Structure 1
């Protein structure tokens, strides 16, 4: 790799406050906030709104969608053949 052209790639903690879940990974993002991780070191922390711990696809708690209403609306607009 050429020196001086790549962004700083360092350990960062991503935290999902809704699910009380955090994970340590590497990223080019940074933050002024820090957190002390399980290994005793301090890392920058980035808060996210949704992660695999709170996303409906991964948790299995998906919403029910009113498909019958959509189908009836389609038939009302375009008719049945």
Structure 2
């Protein structure tokens, strides 16, 4: 390998929005992530649905009587 062309490989601290901190190694010293295995619904078994101002219900009401592809 050539000398002085590769980035430094240092200890890295990954911080999630939930407060979880993971220590690893990377070319960056700090990383901020929005979701990790401690707060991801797949790993926790819980599902969070953030519905702002009833958008899901409004969508369902709008398209409840639409029959696509049916004659």
Do both share a fold (TM > 0.5)?
Answer: yes
- TM-score (structure 2 length as normaliser): 0.61
Indicate how the Cα distance of structure 1 residues 63 and 79 shifts in structure 2: closer, same or farther if over 3 A, else same. farther
Residue 26 (structure 1) aligns with: 25
- TM-score (structure 1 length as normaliser): 0.55
Residue 9 (structure 2) aligns with: 9
Residue 52 (structure 1) aligns with: 37
More strand, by proportion: 1
RMSD: 2.6
Higher relative contact order (CA 8 A, sep 6+): 1
**Runs of 4+, deviation exceeding 3 Å:** none
Count matched residues. Answer: 59
| Runs of 5+ consecutive residues of structure 2 not aligned to the other structure | 50-55
